[in-house]
Chains A and B, each alone.
Chain A
């Protein structure tokens, strides 16, 4: 019988939740790496028992962990993230040049086909790849060396590469997003990159339609339609129908178009989910009501999903990597909050309930659908 494994990264460790396909009863294992920040952990699509985890600490730096048994046991692998060329500088908050300095791994994206190949998005923004199961890491330096690189600036959370999307139809095509530089695409396996921010409008930068400088929060792609991308930006929910060459706003009737994650239904490529947040200065749901919004029309028209979610006095946030879907029928949707709760819906978002409560603040949620 099929089942689901939910991988939860938190401020103080990682947790692995498992259930059968009914998704009613959940076993919770953890914390793994207790006391460490786990920005992200994710399984290999090519081997579901191969997991990678980013474990970091303000005291002791970056650790990468690998599991070969679905998260029951872990082994420490390589943690040397060394920029491939002279790091150079980007802009600091005060506008002065600042050397690129590695801080942490925000996101790990395993290859779609090879369990030993995994990409890492890091702060200060750069993309690394390992082809030996995380033992050694090599930077794809063409991204950081983009002609605009010296003008990139950190967002409030640091200058982080937080989103990596691999195209299932084209092994050479990779998308990344950086706060606060914007979205970039490579069509040659990561050697060269182009900024794909045409159509984005950001009032918080001197030229609202500049080539770079946009605070992209998250990009989602449905595997059946890889040229269509959905984006949650700092403000604005956006859509591209041409692989990022151009974007148009689809915020429509959302109560707020600020937010962090965006996800797509596993079987309906025009059904998308966001979690509206009040504003960039008030990182909690509008009116204290935790609501997921679903569009069944690829944007513009949205419905509030509230059943089972707290509808008063709720002031948590849902971070960019903290929402995921399973591929069961009906599609399961999951998200974690900075209040330490993970909510799940086994009916495409119609109803929700907590599957674990009172964890440390949730940084990431990933879901594996198991055979």
Chain B
């Protein structure tokens, strides 16, 4: 299972209080994980990626294992520690004022 930590506003939309865990068939790429997340929580469609372009929204960031993975291509595999469930994928609202 892939562990995902959502930012507070998206936890509210998804009606969850803690981490979410989703099953993803390999290869566990960014795209595959986000597809699975949106399939389990369709209310998150459009909030992390643009509906049409599927590009990451500018003020959303992806962190894992102490690294910023935000700029990796959608078909890049996530770190093994995320794939194994040892570490969560953090979806973060960027610090941008407000």
A34 to chain B: closest residue by CB: B12
- In the bound complex, what is the Cα–Cα distance between A61 and B48 (angstroms)? 8
Please indicate the chain B residues that have their CB under 8 angstroms from the CB of A82 in the complex.
51-52
Q: Are B96 and A58 in contact (CB under 8 A)?
A: yes
Q: Are A61 and B96 in contact (CB under 8 A)?
A: no
A80 to chain B: closest residue by CB: B51
Known: A57-B9, A82-B51, A82-B52. A62 touches B46 (CB 8 A): yes
Known: A60-B57, A61-B57. A76 touches B43 (CB 8 A): yes
Please report whether the interface of chain A is mostly helix, strand, loop or mixed according to DSSP.
loop
Please indicate the chain B residues that have their CB under 8 angstroms from the CB of A62 in the complex.
46
Known: A63-B47, A79-B45. A58 touches B59 (CB 8 A): yes
A55 to chain B: closest residue by CB: B13
Q: How many residues of chain B have a CB within 8 Å of chain A?
A: 20
Known: A63-B13, A80-B51, A82-B52. A58 touches B98 (CB 8 A): yes
A62 to chain B: closest residue by CB: B46
Is B10 in the interface zone, CB < 8 Å from A? yes
In chain B between 19 and 54, which residues have their CB closer than 8 angstroms to a CB of chain A? 43, 45-48, 50-52
Please report whether the interface of chain B is mostly helix, strand, loop or mixed according to DSSP.
loop
Q: Are A60 and B52 in contact (CB under 8 A)?
A: no
Q: Are A60 and B93 in contact (CB under 8 A)?
A: yes
A35 to chain B: closest residue by CB: B9
In chain A between 43 and 66, which residues have their CB closer than 8 angstroms to a CB of chain B? 57-63
Is A184 in the interface zone, CB < 8 Å from B? no
Is B94 in the interface zone, CB < 8 Å from A? yes
Please indicate the chain B residues that have their CB under 8 angstroms from the CB of A81 in the complex.
51
Binary flags per residue of A74-90, CB closer than 8 Å to B gives 1, else 0? 00100111100000000
Q: Are A76 and B13 in contact (CB under 8 A)?
A: yes
Please indicate the chain B residues that have their CB under 8 angstroms from the CB of A235 in the complex.
none
Q: Are B60 and A59 in contact (CB under 8 A)?
A: yes
Is A335 in the interface zone, CB < 8 Å from B? no
Q: Are A61 and B46 in contact (CB under 8 A)?
A: yes
- In the bound complex, what is the Cα–Cα distance between A82 and B52 (angstroms)? 7
Q: Are A60 and B48 in contact (CB under 8 A)?
A: yes
Please indicate the chain B residues that have their CB under 8 angstroms from the CB of A175 in the complex.
none
Please indicate the chain A residues that have their CB under 8 angstroms from the CB of B47 in the complex.
60-61, 63
Binding site for B on A (CB under 8 A): 35-36, 57-63, 76, 79-82
Binding site for A on B (CB under 8 A): 7-10, 13, 43, 45-48, 50-52, 57, 59-60, 93-94, 96, 98
- 11 A-B pairs whose Cβ atoms sit less than 8 Å apart in the complex: A36-B9, A58-B59, A58-B96, A58-B98, A59-B57, A59-B59, A59-B94, A60-B10, A63-B13, A79-B45, A82-B52
